Amino acid sequence: MTTEADALTLRYLQELEAELHDLPANRRQELLDEVREHLAAARAELDPETEAGVRTLLERLGDPADIAAEARERSGVPSPPTRPATPRLEIAALVLLVIPFLGWVVGVVLVWLSRLWTTGDKLVGTIGGLSWVAAGLGGILTAAGGSTAVGSEPLGPTETSVLAVVVFVVPFVLPVAAAIYLGIRLRARTAPVRGRLPS
Amino acid sequence: MVPAKRESLITQMRRGTLEYCVLALLRDQPRYGFDLVRTLGGADGLVTSEGTIYPLLSRLRRDGLVTTTWHESPSGPPRRYYQLTAQGQQALALFTTEWDRFTDAVDRLLRQGGSP
């Protein structure tokens, strides 16, 4: 098998990584490595490996939030995590992402500075924010191809509209889509944690 | 007793003792993470979620009570083995002595209510 088992394991590790966001990077990496090794050893003992078996392993490991709480306590990171009431950096990044050109660049930089988004989220933000680079290149190449082809007819209505989509729609729409996605992820990330009370 | 009360009672008792249970498991031989965690998980009431052992192991390592070494595994990639340091041995010995005294005292009180 076992794409489903791989997917479950991967999702679990991603959740754990997100829960550990406020730990020092080396501590977070160490813990992720150990849990990854645990899962590899545990899965190697499953014969045959079934999806249900992998689910049981993950249940025994426990809720990533519990592991993160334990890690905070054992490493002296304040619990519940101290975090600005409003994620200012993240909101600034989202606003900049929908402002063309310079805003896109600075927005992408801010997205990477954030500790609230996962690496996957950040890649979405980067692809969205920098989509104008690809679109611009595509536009230039298309335009260059059209004008240098000897004896070719001028661009027809179809090519022109395709060009318009590539040059204008893609770079303006994708950053907005990426910002919306990141906003949703941000809400999901901040809401439950803020609601968690110290025990 | 209400389940929530029972849960918090066990949590409190576990808090001070779990790390010494980990050290005790390593007294006679090094173990790799999965083996250690599974053995602890098999002890009734000691561990609710296996993953919470790893932050504890990391603390013990930073405190110099255990070290890690890599060993080949019969199947799959090399494994990280945890073993006691001399400092870990001492901490375990001290805890064992104190634990015996402590549990004796508590046992006496629980059984006899303090009468001789």
Residue A182 CA to residue A119 CA, distance in Å, equals 12
Q: What is the pLDDT of residue A186?
A: 86
**CA-based nearest residue in chain A for residue B11:** A199
Q: Let me know: does A2 contact A49? Beta carbons within 8 Å.
A: yes
Residue A163 CA to residue B29 CA, distance in Å, equals 69
Q: What confidence tens digit (pLDDT) does each residue in B28-65 have?
A: 999 999 999 989 988 777 787 899 999 999 999 999 99
CA distances from A81 to A87, A176, B29 (A): 13, 30, 37
Q: Which two tokens stand for residue B40?
A: 């602890």
Residues of A in contact with B34 (CB under 8 A): 37-38, 41-42
Per-residue pLDDT of chain A (199 residues; tens, 9 = 90+): 568 899 999 999 999 999 999 999 999 999 999 999 999 989 988 888 889 999 999 999 999 999 999 999 887 777 655 555 678 888 888 888 888 778 888 888 888 888 888 888 888 888 887 777 777 777 777 667 655 544 455 666 777 777 777 776 777 788 888 888 888 888 877 765 444 444 4
Go through the domains of chain B in sequence order and give each one's CATH number.
3-112 (1.10.10.10)
Confidence of residue B92 (pLDDT cuts 50, 70, 90): very high
Claim: this prediction has a pTM higher than 0.80: no
Residues 6+ apart with CB under 8 A from A129: A97, A104, A105, A107, A108, A111, A175, A178
The more confidently predicted of residues B108 and A76 is: B108
Q: What is the pLDDT of residue B105?
A: 94
Residue A64 CA to residue A32 CA, distance in Å, equals 11
Q: Does A62 touch chain B (CB under 8 A)?
A: yes
Helices of type H across B26-85: 33-42, 53-62
Q: Does B37 touch chain A (CB under 8 A)?
A: yes
Q: What percent of chain B has pLDDT over 70?
A: 96
